Chains A and B, each alone.
Chain A
Amino acid sequence: MTDNNSRPGFFRRIWNWFWTPTAVLSTGFVLIIGFLAGIMFWGGFHWSMEMTNTEEFCTGCHTMETNLGEYRETVHYNNHSGVRAICSDCHVPKEWNHKVKAKVMAVKDVYHELMGTIDTAAKYEDHRLKMASQTWKKMKQSDSRECRNCHNFEYMDFTIQETRAAKEHQRAIDNNMTCIDCHQGIAHRLPEGYLDEYKRVVDELAMEEAPKPLETASANTDTVRSYLKQSTQKTSGD
């Protein structure tokens, strides 16, 4: 026999309190409190996420020292115009959906930092091609979306570019190419065999995007024979 008068547990009481309609708060009060709490939560969430976009945060891990050193020798770090592109400008999308996805996927960086996957120069070099390849694939897939936060063919004045650059950019437009097709290694040292690897990435993506064969094209030959036989019999019957 159970005791129906026993006091519910702590969590059950919290649960009941949470779902019991309030008798002392007006709708307006609840709405205003909810609105303010929403602003505070969303502001705090967004601020925290932006904190993870700073260069200090990105390079806080030991394993990021190598790529930080390489990046500091490039035009994206120091240049005549005084504009700097930090890690997140190239590696974190601006659009909310893509940004959240990138942040979740960055969990793997924490894992590899803890596991020491690239914690020595030798290990880093062993993984350099693979890491570069993953980034190239993302950039090729997104039409170099992060590059285009600052650069755009439409904003370029070819008349004030070097002849070679203007010619290559025109070629890129004509052939529907994207930034990463030519600018691999713009911020980090290129691994050995990068050209072959980039070609492999491009071929792999082309295969993924190619139209799937029609069902009929992949049909079993016995099925085709059987269908033709039936059609022939039907025609001769007529």
Chain B
Amino acid sequence: MLNLLGTIAGNVLSLPGILGLALGMTTRNLLLASIMGAVVGFAESLIFAGFDMSNVEMLELVISIGVGLLAGALGCAIRIKGTTV
């Protein structure tokens, strides 16, 4: 359980959480924002694994993509709620 929470926290405070949120804030399209966040999550897992898919742990990959997806969606929601353009 702690392992899972730690992985989620690590991703929230890392590229998927922060860059995913920032990218999500660049669009009003929820789907596009989520996809951009998920791509960041996937890219981060790949970067930390030294661009070798065999080093990517499935749990970490799923969590980083999930966190990126949610961060992108949240960024999009912030854009919709917080801007008039």
Contact = CB atoms under 8 A, between A and B. Distances in A.
A104 B2 CA distance: 7
Binding site secondary structure of chain B = helix
B9 A100 contact: yes
A98 interface: yes
Contacts of A100: 6, 9-10, 13-14
A3 interface: no
Nearest to B44: A97
Contacts of A21: 83-84
B2 A19 contact: no
B3 A95 contact: no
Interface in B5-49: 5-7, 9-11, 13-14, 44, 48
A29 interface: no
Binding site secondary structure of chain A = helix
B5 A104 contact: yes
Contact of A96 (B3, B6, B10, B81): B10
B81 A19 contact: yes
Interface of B: 2-3, 5-7, 9-11, 13-14, 44, 48, 81-84
27 contacts: A19-B81, A21-B83, A21-B84, A95-B48, A96-B10, A96-B13, A97-B10, A97-B11, A97-B14, A98-B10, A99-B10, A100-B9, A100-B10, A100-B13, A100-B14, A101-B3, A101-B7, A101-B10, A102-B6, A104-B5, A104-B10, A105-B2, A105-B3, A105-B5, A105-B6, A107-B2, A108-B2
